[in-house]
């Protein structure tokens, strides 16, 4: 099930009506995202790394990240990191992630991503703040690896249950291991 809640960006100070278009903030180029298709891909066993500025704009990606997303370096650098956000992801996951990493703590969670061609993949992601010599946040770095297959089904059930806007501030997302807390509570 897909929902249309992808962040809409602006181009030429006008709101875009197509949520599958992202604007690169450096060259203002429109990047077209494919609509989601129900086909999973399985990344190689490699660590995918990305870095952003304090606003979530991509400043660096490693080769493995580019290979699995299908986007080029030129498309990614300057684009919002939400460029590969799958619409099945609850907003609460990202609200909680931003609160946690803005507090200079490490966020860990499972994320369903969308490739440029619309196919999806799951990763286990670790995100933390990058600090300057005064301990001020100057950006964020994320590393991700292939998600544990045995956990994906459980995570999907939780994410489906907490998909709506009414759950955006649900405490399940605030624990870096929120899904684990939920699973234990159901036992």
7 within some domain: no
Structural domain span for residue 41: 36-186
182 part of a folded domain: yes
Label residue 160 exposed, middle or buried (CB < 10 Å: 0-12, 13-18, 19+): exposed
Global confidence as pTM: 0.76
Q: How many structural domains are present in the chain?
A: 1
Quick check: is 31 in a domain?
no
| Residue 14 within any structural domain of the chain | no
Strand 137-146 vs strand 21-23: parallel, antiparallel, or unpaired? unpaired
pLDDT given at position 91: 93
Residue 114 belongs to domain with CATH number: 3.30.450.20
Q: Using CA atoms, how far apart are residues 5 and 63, in angstroms rounded to an integer?
A: 28
Residue 22 lies in a domain: no
- Nearest residue to 50 via CA among 112, 137, 140: 140
Q: For the residues 90-119, what does the mean pLDDT come to?
A: 93
Token pair, residue 103, equals: 């507090």
Six token digits for residue 55: 């606003």
Q: What per-residue confidence (pLDDT) applies to 4? A: 36
Residue 12 included in any domain: no
Alpha-helical runs (H) found in 70-140 = 73-76, 91-102
Q: CB neighbours of 103 closer than 8 A, spacing ≥ 6?
A: none
pLDDT computed for residue 22 by the predictor: 72
CA 67 vs CA 28, 63, 81, 147: distances in Å: 23, 6, 16, 17
Task: Confirm whether 65 is domain-assigned.
Answer: yes
Residue 54 included in any domain: yes
The neighbouring-strand residues paired with 125 are 109, 144
- pLDDT above 90 coverage of the chain, percent: 61
């Amino acid at each position: 099930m897909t929902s249309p809640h992808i962040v809409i960006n602006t181009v030429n100070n006008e709101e875009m009506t197509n949520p599958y278009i992202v604007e690169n903030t450096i060259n203002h180029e429109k990047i077209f995202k494919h609509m989601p298709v129900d086909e999973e891909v399985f990344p190689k066993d490699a660590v995918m790394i990305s870095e952003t500025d304090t606003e979530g704009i991509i400043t660096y990606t490693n080769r493995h990240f580019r290979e699995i997303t299908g986007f080029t370096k030129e498309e990614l650098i300057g684009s919002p990191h939400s460029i590969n956000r799958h619409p099945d992801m609850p907003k609460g996951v990202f609200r909680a992630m931003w609160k946690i990493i803005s507090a200079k703590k490490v966020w860990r969670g499972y994320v369903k991503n969308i490739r440029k061609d619309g196919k999806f993949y799951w990763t286990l992601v670790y995100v933390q703040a990058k600090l300057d010599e005064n301990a001020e946040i100057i950006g964020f770095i994320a590393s991700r690896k292939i998600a544990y297959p045995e956990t994906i089904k459980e995570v999907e059930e939780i994410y489906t249950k907490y998909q709506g806007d009414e759950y955006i501030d649900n405490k399940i997302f605030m624990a870096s291991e929120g899904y684990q807390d939920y699973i234990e509570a159901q036992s």
